[in-house]
Structure 1
Amino acid sequence: MSSTVSELIRARLRIRRSLPAPHVCRAAREAAGLTQKDVADAVGVTIQAVSYWEAGLRRPRGERFDRYAEAIAALRDAA
């Protein structure tokens, strides 16, 4: 396995471990003054999906997980 592939895998694993609890994601969004629609548009999902994630009823999966984790990390870094 090349070092590039290994680095990519490790980077994705770090993102997956860094998604905070649903209430923390919601707090980060609200602190940034964003609506669920703003986050949904940025991530490429529906408002309902973001609502479910913030309520802890569902968890994003696959590429959506990666995009959502990156969005939440950016919001928390900006605070």
Structure 2
Amino acid sequence: MQSTVADKIRSRKRVRRSIPAPAERRQIREDAKLTQAEVADAVGVTPQAVALWESGRRTPRGQLFDRYAEALTAMRESA
């Protein structure tokens, strides 16, 4: 996956999009009628990673944060 200019700037400046609180992340996914496995496949992680993010026990970092934030946005739009 190639980085865009915006991605490069974000990584250098540590500018990150925000993501909702863990409980809201889960609700967004459920409203979109997707499983943790489906979200994991789209983001490129394991279903266990998505479960940890939704429980608040872990937070995605770097490119995974960006991909997860994009996935959450897409799920909101589709719900």
Above 0.5 in TM-score? yes
Q: Which residue of 1 aligns with 2:46?
A: 46
Q: Aligned with 2:42: secondary structure? A: helix
Instruction: Name the TM-score, length of structure 1 as normaliser.
Output: 0.80
Unaligned runs of 5+ in 1: none
- Higher-helix-fraction structure: 1
Considering Cα pairs closer than 8 Å and 6+ residues apart, tell me whether 1 or 2 has the greater RCO: 1
Report the AA paired with residue 49 of structure 1.
A
Report the AA paired with residue 17 of structure 1.
R
Alignment of 1:1-79 (within 5 A): 8=6, 9=9, 13=15, 16-79=16-79
Q: Aligned with 2:33: secondary structure? A: coil
Contact 2:53 2:60 in 1 (8 A): yes
Q: CA RMSD in A?
A: 1.9
Instruction: State the distance in 1 between where 2:43 and 2:28 align.
Output: 15
Unaligned runs of 5+ in 2: none
Aligned residues: 71
- CA drift of 1:78 comes to 2.0
- Which protein is bigger by CA-based radius of gyration? 1
